[in-house]
Structure 1
């Protein structure tokens, strides 16, 4: 057996069978090959100072062996090993966050809730500004709809862009009034049964060859309780504009909300886009008032 070996492998040597020098030679060759700067054997001084320890007495091996025999060892599964490492890493991460004053998502939410609870929020704090007079919307309608609107509408006034009482009952006129905007549109309808319902369209209404829009689009109804119908992800039949009709939501040949070119007759069916109920009392309805509000 060679007289010098790396200190990190001495404990294992004593377990080799007596006279089995081949393993020791192979291991030594491995260290010399991969780390010649540390384990080069050129000269006895290099061997003594290059990371090797000269074993003068066999008794030293016995002492090392006794040391490892007295240690407590535990065999861990791979999963348990990783679990314990994760626990250590988590503790270190929490400590680091505390030192750097990093706030976790849960802590941020908790602090936000405390801050909101401590504020004296008035009943009109989230009430939007309406530019125009509505013949349909009541304060309770506005309150419910405000909560459901997409984030990009927050902070903008509601501007009345089109209404049948002011512009007449014409789908073509509705398209023309929306030619100069790219803001989301709130379509509100009151039918002859006094039912209020409609849709939030992610894009202005226009004539199109195909369906357009995004998942921000949704349907809603007050019957009389408010209910909104958000995108299911089943399809992307959001908005379809034709010269003689306007449709919102679709699937299996039926539309969630459909209006004719005179904005007088409409239909509402279940559709896969929003998984909605019929918005009106009956599938076919007649429009009394219709308004389109934009957020700009």
Structure 2
């Protein structure tokens, strides 16, 4: 039986997340997903709304389960855009200055992903790229999250606007009452996570003071 207009859908994909091409597939075949740009299609029986984000680079920290939970909590305006790796300790070394340098010129939201020495994965979403600033920046869409042990997102409480602040010697997300929701040192080696009024979060790691094993920052291109 020839496909009819009712059971044909047109999808736009990109082999390098820059140059699109068109592929026409049937509704039956559309119940598939692509987790990275170079991955093969696999049957999973999901709808278009359940497609995982497209990663333009390999992640050492995020698997499909992480991606699925995180994507569901991203602002609606970021849905459907590819994720580009802007910084990775595996690729770029351990330097907050390098992280800031890689963020220069960007104007997109970013996702910070951390794995500590206890293999706990957590981080934060910022509506602006990380940068050095004399004051806090970001909006109420900023949030913290943790997969320790189950996924939980901590959204803006409305109590203050201490979203993100970057110093040459540290990066801070959330604050007030003498504690930071997430704090990293200049070497991206030591970190801390405390409950803070900005997000009313629990500490993201098993221990309030932690050692970073690996760290990634993804930018959501639009």
Same fold, TM-score > 0.5, yes or no = yes
The one of 91, 114, 119 equivalent to 1:166 is 91
Name the CA distance, whole Å, in 2 between partners of 1:124 and 1:132: 24
Q: Secondary structure at the match of 1:251?
A: coil
Larger radius of gyration: 1
CA change 1:224–1:182 in 2 (3 A) is same
Q: Does 1:278 align with 2:203?
A: yes
Q: Does 1:235 align with 2:198?
A: no
The one of 48, 71, 75 equivalent to 1:150 is 75
Which residue number in structure 1 is paired with residue 139 of structure 2?
214
The one of 159, 165, 180 equivalent to 1:255 is 180
Q: Unpaired segments of 5 or more residues in structure 1?
A: 1-118
1:3-82 to structure 2, matched below 5 A, reads none
Which residue number in structure 2 is paired with residue 138 of structure 1?
63
The one of 98, 117, 124 equivalent to 1:192 is 117
Residues 129-166 of structure 1: CA deviation (Å, up to 9, x unaligned): 10110000011000000000011211110111100000
Q: Which has the higher contact order (CA 8 A, sep 6+)?
A: 2
Name the CA distance, whole Å, in 1 between partners of 2:96 and 2:197: 25
Question: What displacement does 1:124 show?
Answer: 6.8
Q: Secondary structure at the match of 2:58?
A: coil
Q: Structure 1 stretches (4+) deviating beyond 2 angstroms?
A: 119-126
Contact (CA 8 Å) 2:100, 2:132: kept in 1 or not?
yes
Q: Secondary structure at the match of 2:111?
A: strand
Question: What displacement does 1:123 show?
Answer: 2.8
1:110-149 to structure 2, matched below 5 A, reads 122-123=45-46, 125=48, 126-149=51-74
CA change 1:133–1:120 in 2 (3 A) is closer
Q: Secondary structure at the match of 2:174?
A: strand
Name the CA distance, whole Å, in 2 between partners of 1:169 and 1:124: 39
CA change 1:245–1:124 in 2 (3 A) is farther
Name the CA distance, whole Å, in 2 between partners of 1:214 and 1:180: 19
Name the CA distance, whole Å, in 2 between partners of 1:215 and 1:203: 11
Residues 41-77 of structure 1: CA deviation (Å, up to 9, x unaligned): xxxxxxxxxxxxxxxxxxxxxxxxxxxxxxxxxxxxx
Q: Unpaired segments of 5 or more residues in structure 2?
A: 1-29, 33-44
Query: Greater helix share, 1 or 2?
Result: 1
Number of equivalenced pairs: 178
Which residue number in structure 2 is paired with residue 179 of structure 1?
104
Question: What displacement does 1:128 show?
Answer: 1.2
Name the CA distance, whole Å, in 2 between partners of 1:227 and 1:171: 26
Name the CA distance, whole Å, in 2 between partners of 1:275 and 1:124: 34
